[in-house]
Chains A and B, each alone.
Chain A
C-alpha cells in the first residue's frame, strides 16, 4: 500500500464520523484505511458481515463479487438481501444496501466468477478476502496475493462452525504497549505508551494444509489435542465443497449427511488424526449459516482486515476457528 506519500489529512467530517474508532486506533491508521481497496469474494452471511464491518470502518473502496443467486439460506444470515426476491445475483443485490452504510466508501459489485478472472484483475487490490470459496481457489488466490504483496484472507461458515484464515506475507506493524514508568522528578508512577515496529511472517494456506500430523510422538499427540476441533470439522466441509462444487444444503440433507459422514472418515484418514478429533454427530450442526456465528467470525475477520490495512497491532496468525457447539473461539497456527 503506497499510501505514505499520499497521506492527506483527515477532514473534519471524517473526524466526526469516525470519532469513536480514531480514538482507538489513531489518525494514521484511519488514513491508511482510507487508502485501501478491498476485493470481497462471496456474499453469503459471512461476506455480508465482513462487508458491513469494513465499509463502516472507512476503507477507500470495496468490490463485492459473487457469481451466485440469492437462495433460501440467505434469509438466515445475509442481511443485505434476506428479504430480497430469490434469483437475483447476490453481489449486485447487496451493493445498494451496502453502499448506504457509508457514502464515503466506493462500493461496486461484480457478478462474475472469480475463477474466470485472470491474475491481472486481482493485482489492483490491497486486500483480497475470499469467503465461501473452494479450497483450491483459496490457495490459488493466496499464492497470487503473496506474489503481488496483497493481504489475503479467507473464511467460511457451516452452521455452528466457522473459520478465518489470513496470510499477510511479511507483515510490518506498530505495536503499542502501555508501561508504567517512573517519573524523574517525582516518586510516583505514570503510564507511558511505547510504540515499537514489529514484523511477523505468515505461511501459505496450502502449506498449512499440507502439515503432517502423523508423527507418533508425545509432542504431536499434545498438538492434536490442543488443536481446536473446528479446524478438523471445517476441513470436512471444505472437502465437500471441493468435491461437489457446492455446500451441503437443506434440500439435499439426507444425501449430504451421508456424504459428510463419509468425508469425515476420509479427512481423518488423510490427516492421520484420531477419530475423536471430529465428533461423530458433527453434521447435525453444520447446515446453513447461523447469523450469530457469521457475526462472530465476520467480526474477527473484519477486524483482522482493518489491522492488516492500518498496520496497527499484532495480527492473528493465522487461523481463527469458531465452534458454536462448545463456545470455542480460538486462534491457531497449524504449522507451528
Chain B
C-alpha cells in the first residue's frame, strides 16, 4: 500500500493500533480530521458542543451553507467519512466538561489532540490528560500565527505551567463615563448601556457621568452635584436606575436619546475642569442631528452611518429590543450577543452617536463588531498548516519518539534563521506548577471576613483556578467540609464568610476536583484590603502574570501569551546568529535552546481591522467578552 511505503512500517503498525481523540471540530479541527483520515488514522473520536455558523464557512471546509445550525462534530464526521469510508469515526455533540468524559474515557486513547478555541476547555483537557497520563498535542491559531505544543506528564511543561496573562484591556471607569477619547471607549460604554437597559444591571457598568472622577477637584465635584440636585428638582429626572427610568418612559427612544446625549452631556460640561485641556463634548438633540437632510438609511455593515442614521437605527433597535425583552417574561433579561443584529446595531449606533459627541472618529458596524465582540480573525491557510504540524508531531509520539517532538510556531515572516515554522525544544515541567507538580499548591490573598464561600467556589476555584466541581475542606486534621460537589450539601453555607468557619491567615484549604482528578492546597494569606479592586489575589509562582479577578477567558486561542511577551525580547536571536556556527547539527541544537522560549515574536501584532485582538481560537473560537 502506498501509505505504508510513504510512512514506513513502524508508523503504519503504530497507526493501526492507535485510537485518537480530537477535542474540537472547528477551524483547526476540520483540517485536522481530514489529515488524520488521509494519513491512515482509522479509529477517531471527536467532541464538539458547537453548531455551525455562516462565519465558519470561509475556513471550516467540512461544512457548507446547508449545514448551518447543525452539530459540528456530526457534520465533520459525515464529511470526513467521504475521504475514507472505512474509517471509524465517532462524534459527540457534547461538552468536554461533561462527566461522561471522565478519567476512564481519556485513558482509552493513545493520544489526545486539542483543536480548541478557549482557555477553560484547554485547561480542563490538560488536567484530564495529566491525570490519565496520556500524551496531549495542544494547538492554537490567531490570524497568520499558530503553534503546536506536545505535552506529556512528567516530561514536558503542561498547558498551565506557563501563566497566561489576560489579553483583555480594561479602561478606567471615568474614561468610559466622562472622557472617552477612542472609539473603543464608546463601544464599551454602549455595551454597558445595553446591559443597563435590557440586560443584567451591573453597578460597575454605570453609564451616567461620574462625579468621583479623580480629575475633579472637590469643589468641582460639589458644584456638579449641586447642579444635579437643581436639575433633578426642575427637570424631574431623578437619579434612579437607568433601567427603571427607561421602563417608565416605555423605552421611548426620543426621551432616552435626549437624556443620554443631551442632558447627561450638559451635565458633563458642567464639570469644567475636565474640559480645560480637552475638546469639550457637544450636546445633541434628537430632532436636529447631523445628516438629517439626507433621506438615506444605510443598513450595510461596512458603511459608516451618519449621526442621523445612527439615531434612526437607535430608535428601531429600541423598539425591537423592547419586544425581545418582553418576550423573556417579567423578570427576563437580554444577554448581549454580537451575532444578534438588534443588539449589535444598538451598540453600533450608540457608540457612534457618543463618538460624534466627543469628536472621536465614527466607525462602521463591521469594525465595531470586531471591537465589541472581540473577534479574532481566522483563515483557512493558518489552520491547515497548524493541523499538518499537529499530525507530524503526533506521528512521532505514536512510534515512541516523544523526545524528538518539538513545539512548533508558525511565524508571519521568516525569522533571522530563515524559519517560517520554528521548531523549539520541549521544556521540562515547571517544578512549582500549580497543576502538574506532584503536590500542587498556591496562595490566595484575601480578607476572609469579607469573602464568601460562594466567591471561593465560583470566582477563585472555578473562575480562576479552572476547577469544574470542587470539594473543599479545611486541612486542620478535622476535615471541616466547606464546599461539597454533591448537590444539596453545602449550598446553604454559600453566603457565609470564610471567617465564619475559622478560615484566616495561614489556613490551608484542601481543594479537590474529582472529575479532573486534581488536588490543590490553597493557603490563605489574610489581608485587610487589597491594593486593587478585586476581592482576592492568587500569589506565588503563578501570580506574576495573572491580574486578579481575571474571570473571563482572555486569550482563548491558545496562542501562548508568552508569545507576546517575548515579542520584544527577540534581540537574543541576533546574538545567536552572530555566533559562527560551524556544523549544521550544532546549529540546530543551539537554536533549540535559544529559541525554546522564542515565540512568533515580531508577528504578534493586531491585524488592521481588529485592533483589539486577544488571540483566537474560537469560532466562538474567536470571541472574548471585553467588558
Q: Which residues of A contact B (CB under 8 A)?
A: 9-10, 12, 15-27, 49, 52-53, 56-58, 72-73, 75-77, 79, 82-83, 100-103, 159, 176-178, 185-186, 190-191, 193, 225-226, 228, 249-250, 253, 276, 284-285, 287-296, 298-300, 302-303, 306, 313-314, 316, 320, 322, 324, 326-332
Contacts and interface: CB of A to CB of B under 8 A. Distances in A.
B462 to A, nearest CB: 30
B176 to A, nearest CB: 16
Nearest to A324: B392
A247 B504 CA distance: 74
Nearest to B365: A15
A293 B384 CA distance: 10
B381 A302 contact: yes
A56 B61 contact: yes
Nearest to B378: A20
B389 interface: yes
B255 interface: no
Contacts of B418: 226, 228, 330-332
26 contacts: A10-B302, A15-B301, A20-B375, A21-B58, A23-B609, A49-B384, A52-B380, A75-B84, A76-B2, A83-B85, A193-B608, A226-B418, A249-B2, A250-B2, A276-B584, A287-B6, A292-B387, A292-B388, A292-B389, A303-B379, A303-B381, A314-B413, A324-B392, A327-B392, A330-B420, A331-B414
A61 B608 CA distance: 27
Interface stretch (B32-40, B283-291, B431-439, B535-543): B32-40
Give me the 9 closest cross-chain CB pairs, A-B, nearest first: A329-B421, A295-B388, A288-B6, A24-B377, A299-B385, A291-B38, A299-B384, A292-B391, A296-B388
B222 interface: no
Contact of A16 (B54, B85, B419): B54
Contacts of B366: 15, 22
A225 B607 CA distance: 35
Given A24-B379, A24-B609, A287-B2, A57 B58 contact: yes
Interface in B180-196: 181-182
Nearest to B182: A190
B83 interface: yes
A290 B7 contact: yes
Interface in B144-163: 144
A103 B65 contact: yes
Given A73-B2, A330-B414, 10 more contacts: A23-B610, A56-B380, A72-B2, A193-B608, A276-B584, A289-B6, A292-B390, A298-B384, A302-B380, A306-B381
A75 B83 CA distance: 8
Contacts of A57: 58, 379-380
Nearest to B383: A299
A225 B144 CA distance: 29
B550 to A, nearest CB: 22
Contact of A76 (B38, B182, B406, B605): B38
Contact of A19 (B38, B55, B82, B391): B55
Contacts of A290: 6-7, 39
A331 B144 CA distance: 16
A24 B84 contact: no
Nearest to A19: B55
Q: Quick one: which of B143, B302, B384, B419 has the most chain A CB within 10 A?
A: B384
A320 B581 CA distance: 23
B240 interface: no
Given A10-B302, A76-B2, A296 B423 contact: no
Contacts of B39: 76, 290-292
